[in-house]
């Protein structure tokens, strides 16, 4: 299938969202830039968190961007895969922990 | 991409021809349309013509022979390369150096130690009181018994050892430099530490070079250095002095990799977009002269591999060496130069901005 909803070239057009609301876009990009600056966490740690979240929210643009960014911040595939496992564990755990709710409800309506 | 056992030249690769490389770098589909020419870029910040600040480093490529065939090698070095500097050309280097007060001599290759006159040359340079840098690939130390005493030899002549280690894990190191290189490099680093290299107070400098293992830019040098120091100490009890983060330039085998992997255009775009005027002002060609195995003079080792000799009005061969004329030359530029001006800048001594 040649036509898809996601086009890698669109990532470079992210800034175009300012076309329809510059004030909010400026605020977002300014805040975004500040978030990723070296702080209590290193830029590499932030990039690995971003990579993990990118997988959790299943954003192909973000996965591409933060794979490159993680490598350019000095991470390797081993660290990147561990970060993705952390995201997966939380996603999987989030599903499973609701099993308690199922058990509570089942208990409530069962003899 | 599988690791190659032979140089591009031995494989008959089109890009072993410097003319073909320059044709790719200056391809009209991209240059002046998508990417501004490097010379025009320098002109826009008032740096054209780019001129030396004075030669401080005399970098000598003593030959293209190497025991490794790294995927990113801009020299296209390998076991099949026979270009080796002769003793007569080394003598021309010594004569040229005697006419100057250049204090640092930077030996590179290939594996410089494979040149049969390497030790004689180092002894001569050492007797002249020069600060000698050897760009040692580490694995050469254990490649053959005759090289096992290199750490002691380096120590004897207070040679600064600069060695590539793309990462503190085997996978990223071996993917760039060949199977088993990481393990052998770790062993060599431990041997260098044993004689005092990289140890506090020894005065024996052991610096590492980080090159990205792919089509991306290096991380911040200080951060990488901290990471490497922590991990190499924790895992292998290895100490070193500084880490130099170096950008891969689109020359020879790295250019071949970029094209083969479909990353060429995106990588060039990355370099061009990351142009940093501060890095441009601090490029290494302003304080370095590069000598080839056959005695020709170049602005840097990358220009040497593209066969872009120093400007014609300056002496182009050691036989006509004249420092004053070299200091008054204009530096020869091309599109690969964007590699030295991207981000934090890149030189044989790491970041420049």
Q: Best interface-test mutation with A: which of B167, B168, B219 has the largest number of A CBs within 10 A?
A: B219
pLDDT at residue A1 is higher than 70: no
What span, in angstroms and rounded, lies between the C-alpha atoms of B155 and B126? 11
206-235 in chain B: CB under 8 A from chain A? 212, 214, 216-220, 223-224, 227
Q: Do B227 and A44 touch (CB under 8 A)?
A: yes
Number of domains in chain B: 1
Q: Do B216 and A76 touch (CB under 8 A)?
A: no
Look-up of token digits 């018994």: B145
Of B167, B217, B218, the CB nearest to A76: B167
E-assigned strands of B160-218? Answer: 160-164, 206-210
Residue of B252, B217, B299, B340 lying closest to B24 (CA atoms): B252
Q: Do A44 and B169 touch (CB under 8 A)?
A: no
B167 touches chain A (CB under 8 A): yes
pLDDT of A88: 98
Domain membership of residue B7 (yes or no) is: no
Question: Running DSSP on this structure, what letter comes out for residue B84?
Answer: B
Full residue range of the structural domain in which residue B203 is found = 14-341
Of A72, A76, A77, the CB nearest to B217: A72
pLDDT of B30: 84
Q: Do A71 and B214 touch (CB under 8 A)?
A: yes
B244 DSSP β-pair partners = B209
What span, in angstroms and rounded, lies between the C-alpha atoms of B314 and B333? 15
CA B172, B175, B180, B181 torsion: positive or negative? negative
CA B7, B12, B13, B17 torsion: positive or negative? positive
Q: Do B172 and A77 touch (CB under 8 A)?
A: yes
What span, in angstroms and rounded, lies between the C-alpha atoms of B231 and B233? 5
Distance from CA of B220 to the nearest CA of A (A): 7
What span, in angstroms and rounded, lies between the C-alpha atoms of B175 and A1? 33
pLDDT of A2: 57
CB B286 within 8 A of CB B301: no
- Ranges of chain B with pLDDT below 50: none
What span, in angstroms and rounded, lies between the C-alpha atoms of B43 and B280? 11
Residue of B nearest to A76 (CA): B172
B350 touches chain A (CB under 8 A): no
Residue of B nearest to A42 (CA): B223
Chain B partners within 8 Å of A12 (Cβ) = none
The CATH number of whichever domain residue B120 belongs to comes to: 3.20.20.70
Distance from CA of A88 to the nearest CA of B (A): 24
pLDDT of A48: 98
Of B172, B220, B223, the CB nearest to A76: B172
**b/e burial code for range A45-72 (CB count within 10 A of at least 16 → b):** bbbbbbbbebbbeeeeebbebbbbbbbb
Distance from CA of A51 to the nearest CA of B (A): 16
| Residue B39 exposure: Cα atoms within 13 Å on the Cβ side | 9
Question: Running DSSP on this structure, what letter comes out for residue B6?
Answer: S
Domain membership of residue B3 (yes or no) is: no
Q: Do A71 and B216 touch (CB under 8 A)?
A: yes
Structure tokens that stand for B73 in this block: 């090698």
Chain A partners within 8 Å of B227 (Cβ) = 44, 74
Q: Do B214 and A73 touch (CB under 8 A)?
A: no
Distance from CA of A76 to the nearest CA of B (A): 8
Number of Cβ pairs closer than 8 Å across A and B? 32
Of A74, A77, A78, the CB nearest to B219: A74
Question: Using only C-alpha atoms, what is the Rg of chain A?
Answer: 19
B162 DSSP β-pair partners = B135, B207
pLDDT of B28: 84
The domain defined by A42-111 carries CATH number 1.20.5.510: no
Chain A partners within 8 Å of B212 (Cβ) = 71-72
In the three-class reduction of DSSP (H, G, I as helix; E, B as strand; rest coil), residue B38 is classed as helix
Which segments of chain A belong to CATH 1.20.1290.10?
42-111
Q: Do A74 and B172 touch (CB under 8 A)?
A: no
pLDDT of B29: 84
Chain A partners within 8 Å of B216 (Cβ) = 68, 71-72
Of A68, A71, A74, the CB nearest to B223: A74
At A39-91, the pLDDT tens digits run 999 999 999 999 999 999 999 999 999 999 999 999 999 999 999 999 999 99
């Amino acid at each position: 299938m040649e036509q898809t909803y996601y086009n890698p070239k669109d990532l470079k057009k992210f800034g175009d969202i300012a076309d329809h609301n510059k004030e909010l876009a400026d605020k977002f990009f300014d805040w975004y830039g500040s978030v990723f600056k070296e702080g209590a966490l290193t830029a590499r740690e932030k990039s690995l968190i971003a990579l993990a979240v990118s997988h959790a929210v299943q954003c192909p643009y973000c996965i591409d961007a933060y794979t490159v960014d993680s490598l350019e911040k000095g991470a390797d595939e081993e660290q990147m895969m561990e970060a993705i496992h952390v995201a997966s564990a939380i996603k999987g755990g989030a599903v499973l922990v609701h099993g308690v709710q199922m058990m509570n409800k089942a208990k409530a309506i069962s003899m | 991409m599988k690791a190659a056992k032979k140089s591009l030249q031995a494989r008959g690769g089109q890009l072993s021809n410097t003319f073909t490389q320059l044709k790719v770098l200056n391809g009209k589909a991209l240059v002046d349309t998508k990417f501004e020419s490097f010379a025009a870029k320098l002109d826009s910040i008032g740096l054209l013509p780019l001129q030396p600040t004075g030669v401080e480093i005399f970098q000598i490529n003593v030959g293209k022979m190497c025991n490794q065939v790294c995927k990113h090698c801009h020299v296209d070095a390998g076991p099949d390369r026979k270009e080796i500097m002769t003793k007569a050309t080394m003598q021309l280097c010594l004569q040229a150096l005697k006419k100057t007060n250049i204090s640092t001599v930077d030996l590179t290759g290939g594996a410089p130690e494979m040149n049969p006159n390497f030790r004689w040359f180092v002894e001569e340079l050492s007797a002249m009181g020069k600060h000698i840098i050897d760009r040692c690939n580490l694995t050469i130390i254990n490649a053959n018994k005759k090289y096992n005493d290199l750490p002691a030899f380096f120590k004897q002549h207070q040679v600064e050892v600069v060695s590539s280690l793309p990462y503190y894990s085997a996978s990223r190191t071996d993917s760039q430099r060949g199977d088993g290189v990481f393990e052998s490099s770790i062993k060599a680093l431990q041997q260098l530490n044993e004689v005092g290299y990289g140890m506090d107070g020894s005065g024996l400098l052991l610096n590492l070079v980080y090159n990205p293992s792919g089509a991306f830019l290096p991380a911040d040098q200080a951060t990488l250095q901290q990471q490497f120091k922590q991990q190499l100490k924790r895992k292998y009890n290895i100490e070193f002095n500084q880490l130099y983060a170096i950008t891969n330039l689109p020359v020879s085998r790295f250019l071949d990799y970029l094209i083969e992997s479909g990353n060429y255009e995106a990588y060039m775009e990355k370099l061009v977009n990351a142009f940093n005027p501060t890095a441009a002002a601090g490029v290494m060609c302003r304080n370095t002269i590069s000598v080839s195995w056959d005695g020709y003079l170049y602005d840097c080792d990358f220009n040497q591999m593209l066969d872009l000799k120093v400007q014609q009005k300056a002496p182009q061969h050691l036989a006509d060496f004249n420092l004053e004329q070299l200091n008054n030359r204009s530096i020869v530029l091309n599109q690969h130069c964007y590699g030295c001006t991207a981000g934090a800048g890149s030189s044989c001594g790491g970041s420049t901005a």
